[in-house]
Amino acid sequence: MALNLTQKIIKDHLVSGEMTPGAEIALRIDQTLTQDATGTMAYLQFEAIGLPRVRTELSVSYVDHNTLQMGFRNPDDHAYLRTVAAKYGITFSPAGTGICHQLHLENFARPGRTLVGSDSHTPTAGGVGSMAMGAGGLSVALAMAGEAYVIAMPKVVKVNLTGRLTGWATAKDVILTLLGIMTVKGGVGKVIEYAGPGVATLSVPERAVITNMGAELGATTSIFPSDAATKAFLTAMGRPGDWVELTADPDAAYDEVIEIDLSTLEPMAAAPHMPDRAVTIRELAGMKVDQSCIGSCTNSSYADLMAVSEILAGKRIDPTTDLLIAPGSKQVLKMLAAEGRIDPMLDAGARILECACGPCIGMGGSPVSGGVSARTFNRNFEGRSGTQDAKVYLVSPQTAAMAALRGEFSDPATWGEAPARAELPENAPSIRHLFLTPPADGAGVEIKRGPNIAPLPPFTPLAATVAAPVALKVGDDITTDHILPAGAQITALRSNIPAISEYIFSRVDAEFVPRIKKLGKGVILAGDNYGQGSSREHAALGPRYLGVVAVVAKSMARIHRANLVNFGILPLLLADKADYDRIPAGAEIAIRTGDITPGGTVAMTVAGVGPVAVKNDLTAKELEIIRAGGLLNLVRQARA
Ligand code: F3S
């Protein structure tokens, strides 16, 4: 039978399950990655499992989120991550080496391999044909322990690319266009597989821009074939031996096909505050831009920054605009420096930041109050920049550079000739020596635990009857940033559940934490697409610690739903979405949990309203996890 690329990789890694869309499948995982903000918790969980060493082909721990080390918390976390890595056989990438996805693409990602990462933009590695999925830290801990990774067999969407990019259109404009077509909900339960003659015209870093922002479609992952361009990239990265050819069979079937003619694309932006609010830059012409930020795991490659350098060469940025540039890795920075491409940026007035996530995670670089920021990043949720009333437009590096020069968005027809697309130098300098390779035997390594490393709180099994009030009622599109805001002060507490829980929903309802503490437990009532955004499991762990027993929503985002299950919170869906309006905040809810069956519907009793039908899309295994009080409890029980 002819197979598409996704099916081929899944077939190669299938531990159990049927390859029919929606069916539960378990996959063998070859590689894992973590970043510091989610990594500390992933490793605390791996430690709790009690193995002497990871069982993957490769596991890498990156430090790229909280690199500023203001106060003791971040350095404590970094010391913990470094020593845990040495003890358990994990490669460690110190702060400032680069952004996890950029580094993984350059140094470790391999075609045909499976990768699970505790960061939602892990699909970036799909740029080289790796099946790379974002997951909660607990799933990553289990993958490191050699447990199979369980997902629903995805549908596969073929995005058929024809033509080639022309003028100022870039890979960013491909994915912004697709986001406009599919929306932030369009990829749920699907893998986005790129095919067609247009694929060959895109380099691996360009493909990685597209797979990176596939996360914003809500997709399981996105993937490109591994072809001559992949071989050229891996060769330039000094690892030609990692290349294998990997393409879909010519007559492979797909669940859906979307056509994109690359030659018709033009510079685009995602308008505030959603990545799918695609508009053309032409439409924005004349809008004042107060700040441009270039970097992040989406757009910080050598080619991206070469284009920026060329645009800025010999010019000065508008005096009322800031320009911040963060190269994605030290390798990118070294290549730019070696070719004299940093000077034009400095002379134009740009600020060069560390090779890290930086402003993308609210680590400095916040825009002015009410300001417009043109960012090459992948998310523009309200407040994520650190300035609550700022308006973030997601754009290509070329568009961000032009906006910085002119101090406003302008019609690309007036920009002159677009810079050429830079090819990677044949012998790109290696930075492999900067990664700390673990010793063959880590038994003697002592793990450093500073005061910011708090043990995991214990969670009790699910009660036979859940009786709790609606502690919070929220609307549609609640993101993980709403549940747990980003920013230096808060993310520094990620290895300390009691401390970080104080910030749960703090920017939505400041009374939520004191209220649920007083109540002891509660239910969250939500609209559509609850929990979209990042993979941060603290957005489930924090509520669980505070006493949230169930989330009842119209619909839910995939990764967050998985995190709720992992930490023993019931994810329930209103059978009739109209019931949302009937249930007031504060209403007492009772659910007989013993009656819940996988995929079944039960009636929950809502005081003053009556019975309300709620369904679930839980598998038997997921229900078992919730009943045990979370996955860690279940794994421990199984090993006892
Ligand atoms: Fe970092 Fe932003 Fe990517 S926080 S991993 S650069 S989405």
- Provide the pLDDT for residue 104: 98
Task: Ligand 1 pocket test: pick from 105, 121, 363, 376 the residue with the most ligand atoms within 8 Å of its Cβ.
Answer: 121
Do 67 and 189 fall within a single domain? yes
pLDDT at 167 over 90: yes
Q: For 558-595, what is each residue's pLDDT tens digit?
A: 889 999 999 999 999 999 999 999 999 999 999 999 99
- CATH value at residue 407: 3.30.499.10
In a domain, 597, yes or no: yes
In a domain, 549, yes or no: yes
How far does residue 203's CA lie from ligand 1's centre (Å)?
A: 21
pLDDT at 38 over 80: yes
**pLDDT-based confidence at residue 536 (cuts at 50, 70, 90):** confident
CA 335/CA 114 separation, integer angstroms: 29
Q: How far is CA 446 from the centre of its chain?
A: 31
The whole-chain average pLDDT of the chain stands at 96
Q: For 365-421, what is each residue's pLDDT tens digit?
A: 999 999 999 999 999 999 889 899 999 999 999 999 999 999 999 999 999 999 999
Q: For 190-227, what is each residue's pLDDT tens digit?
A: 999 999 999 999 999 999 999 999 999 999 999 999 99
- Indicate the range of 43-52, 236-245, 335-344, 587-596 predicted with least confidence: 43-52
In a domain, 560, yes or no: yes
* Closest by Cα among 125, 95, 112, 97 to 33: 125
Do 238 and 311 fall within a single domain? no
How far does residue 296's CA lie from ligand 1's centre (Å)?
A: 5
Boundary (domain end) residue, out of 376, 393, 411: 411
Do 303 and 260 fall within a single domain? no
Determine if ligand 1 sits within 6 Å of the CB of residue 100. Answer: yes
How far does residue 33's CA lie from ligand 1's centre (Å)?
A: 13
Q: Using N-to-C axis directions, what is the helix angle for 204-212 and 228-236, rounded to 10°?
A: 100
pLDDT at 535 over 80: no
Question: Which residue owns the Cα nearest ligand 1 atom 5?
Answer: 297
Do 394 and 471 fall within a single domain? no
- Provide the pLDDT for residue 426: 82
Boundary (domain end) residue, out of 395, 411, 427: 411
Task: Ligand 1 pocket test: pick from 102, 296, 484 the residue with the most ligand atoms within 8 Å of its Cβ.
Answer: 296
pLDDT at 105 over 80: yes
More confidently predicted of 490 and 293 = 293
How far does residue 104's CA lie from ligand 1's centre (Å)?
A: 13
- Which residues share a beta bridge with 322? 291
Determine if ligand 1 sits within 6 Å of the CB of residue 119. Answer: yes
φ/ψ (deg, to 5) at 441: -125, 115
Question: Which residue owns the Cα nearest ligand 1 atom 2?
Answer: 360
In a domain, 435, yes or no: no
Determine if ligand 1 sits within 6 Å of the CB of residue 121. Answer: yes
- Which ligand 1 atom minimizes the distance to the CA of 64? 1
Determine if ligand 1 sits within 6 Å of the CB of residue 125. Answer: no
**Residue 39 in contact with residue 286, Cβ under 8 Å?**
no
The end-to-end CA distance of the chain, in Å, is 43
Q: Which residues of 493-529 are buried (b: 16+ CB within 10 A; e: fewer)?
A: bbbbbebbbebbbbeebeebbebbeeeebbbbbbbbb
Apex 466 CA angle, 463 and 470, nearest 5:
145
How far does residue 205's CA lie from ligand 1's centre (Å)?
A: 16
In a domain, 611, yes or no: yes
Do 260 and 281 fall within a single domain? no
Do 522 and 572 fall within a single domain? yes
**Backbone φ/ψ region at 511: left (φ over 0), alpha (ψ -120 to 50), beta:** alpha
- Provide the pLDDT for residue 402: 98
Task: Ligand 1 pocket test: pick from 377, 381, 480 the residue with the most ligand atoms within 8 Å of its Cβ.
Answer: 377
- Provide the pLDDT for residue 366: 96
Do 139 and 195 fall within a single domain? yes
Do 123 and 213 fall within a single domain? yes
Task: Ligand 1 pocket test: pick from 99, 100, 124, 481 the residue with the most ligand atoms within 8 Å of its Cβ.
Answer: 99
How far does residue 325's CA lie from ligand 1's centre (Å)?
A: 14
Do 348 and 400 fall within a single domain? yes
Question: Which residue owns the Cα nearest ligand 1 atom 4?
Answer: 361
pLDDT at 306 over 80: yes
How far does residue 446's CA lie from ligand 1's centre (Å)?
A: 30
Do 103 and 220 fall within a single domain? yes
How far does residue 101's CA lie from ligand 1's centre (Å)?
A: 8
CA-only gyration radius of the chain, Å: 23
CA 520/CA 485 separation, integer angstroms: 23
CA 640/CA 636 separation, integer angstroms: 6
Determine if ligand 1 sits within 6 Å of the CB of residue 34. Answer: no
Assign 550 to helix, strand or coil: strand
Do 195 and 301 fall within a single domain? no
- Edge to edge, what strands does the sheet with 190-195 contain? 221-223, 190-195, 155-162, 256-261
DSSP 383-442: TTTS-TT-EEEE--HHHHHHHHHHTB---GGGS-SPPPPPPPPTTPPP-GGGSBPPPS--
Determine if ligand 1 sits within 6 Å of the CB of residue 221. Answer: no
H or E stretch at 282: helix 281-284
pLDDT at 534 over 80: no
Sequence-separated (6 or more) residues with CB below 8 Å from residue 567: 138, 459, 537, 540, 541, 544, 630, 631
**DSSP secondary-structure letter at 56?**
S
More confidently predicted of 384 and 446 = 446
**pLDDT-based confidence at residue 50 (cuts at 50, 70, 90):** confident
Give the ranges where 485-557 is alpha helix by DSSP (H).
488-491, 497-500, 512-519, 538-546
pLDDT at 488 over 80: no
Q: How many domains does the chain have?
A: 3
- Provide the pLDDT for residue 384: 87
Length of the chain: 640
Task: Ligand 1 pocket test: pick from 33, 361, 384 the residue with the most ligand atoms within 8 Å of its Cβ.
Answer: 361
Tokens for 347? Answer: 């002379």
How far does residue 367's CA lie from ligand 1's centre (Å)?
A: 17
CA 363/CA 95 separation, integer angstroms: 13
**pLDDT-based confidence at residue 492 (cuts at 50, 70, 90):** confident
Sequence-separated (6 or more) residues with CB below 8 Å from residue 639: 49, 50
- Which ligand 1 atom minimizes the distance to the CA of 361? 4
- Which ligand 1 atom minimizes the distance to the CA of 295? 6
How far does residue 377's CA lie from ligand 1's centre (Å)?
A: 8
Q: For 410-440, what is each residue's pLDDT tens digit?
A: 999 999 999 999 999 988 899 999 999 999 9
Q: What average pLDDT does this structure show over 595-616?
A: 97
Q: For 283-294, what is each residue's pLDDT tens digit?
A: 999 999 999 999
Do 201 and 343 fall within a single domain? no
Q: Using N-to-C axis directions, what is the helix angle for 538-546 and 558-566, rounded to 10°?
A: 40
**Residue 570 in contact with residue 593, Cβ under 8 Å?**
yes
CA 162/CA 242 separation, integer angstroms: 28
In single-letter form, the type of residue at position 80 comes to: Y
Q: What average pLDDT does this structure show over 583-610?
A: 97
pLDDT at 11 over 90: yes
| Structure ipTM over 0.95, yes or no | yes
- CATH value at residue 503: 3.20.19.10
How far does residue 37's CA lie from ligand 1's centre (Å)?
A: 11
Q: What average pLDDT does this structure show over 72-96?
A: 96
In a domain, 425, yes or no: no
CA 630/CA 270 separation, integer angstroms: 37
Q: What is the 3-state secondary structure (H, E, C) of 445-492?
A: CCCCCCCCCCCCCCCCCCCCEEEEEEEEECCCCCEHHHHCCCCHHHHC
Question: Which residue owns the Cα nearest ligand 1 atom 3?
Answer: 297
Contacts 24+ apart (CB under 8 A), 108-111: 108/31, 108/33, 108/58, 108/60, 109/31, 110/30, 110/31, 110/242, 110/244, 111/226, 111/230, 111/242, 111/243, 111/244, 111/245, 111/246
Determine if ligand 1 sits within 6 Å of the CB of residue 296. Answer: yes
How far does residue 28's CA lie from ligand 1's centre (Å)?
A: 26
Determine if ligand 1 sits within 6 Å of the CB of residue 297. Answer: yes
Determine if ligand 1 sits within 6 Å of the CB of residue 360. Answer: yes
pLDDT at 8 over 80: yes
Tokens 């597209």, located at residue:
210
- Provide the pLDDT for residue 638: 82
- Which ligand 1 atom minimizes the distance to the CA of 300? 6
**pLDDT-based confidence at residue 490 (cuts at 50, 70, 90):** confident
In a domain, 434, yes or no: no
- Which ligand 1 atom minimizes the distance to the CA of 378? 7
Determine if ligand 1 sits within 6 Å of the CB of residue 378. Answer: yes
Determine if ligand 1 sits within 6 Å of the CB of residue 345. Answer: no
Q: Which residues of 12-34 are buried (b: 16+ CB within 10 A; e: fewer)?
A: ebbeebeeeeeebbbbbbbbbbb
How far does residue 328's CA lie from ligand 1's centre (Å)?
A: 10
Residue 256's CB is within 10 A of a number of other CB atoms, namely 13
CA distances 447 to 14, 434, 453, 552, Å, are 35, 21, 11, 40
CA 558/CA 571 separation, integer angstroms: 11
In a domain, 449, yes or no: no
pLDDT at 469 over 80: yes
How far does residue 121's CA lie from ligand 1's centre (Å)?
A: 7
- Provide the pLDDT for residue 71: 87
How far does residue 465's CA lie from ligand 1's centre (Å)?
A: 40
Determine if ligand 1 sits within 6 Å of the CB of residue 384. Answer: no
**pLDDT-based confidence at residue 49 (cuts at 50, 70, 90):** confident
CA 239/CA 70 separation, integer angstroms: 37
Calculate what percentage of the chain has a pLDDT beyond 70: 100
H or E stretch at 92: strand 91-93
- Provide the pLDDT for residue 559: 83
Determine if ligand 1 sits within 6 Å of the CB of residue 99. Answer: yes
- Provide the pLDDT for residue 583: 98
CA 630/CA 638 separation, integer angstroms: 13
Q: For 611-626, what is each residue's pLDDT tens digit?
A: 999 999 998 989 999 9
Expressed as residue numbers, the domain containing 634 is 465-639
How far does residue 125's CA lie from ligand 1's centre (Å)?
A: 14
- Indicate the range of 48-52, 155-159, 329-333, 570-574 predicted with least confidence: 48-52
Q: What is the sign, positive or negative, of the torsion defined by CA atoms of 294, 300, 304, 305?
A: positive
Boundary (domain end) residue, out of 383, 411, 439: 411
Kindly tell me the number of DSSP H helices and DSSP E strands found in the chain.
21, 26
Tokens 């979209």, located at residue:
532
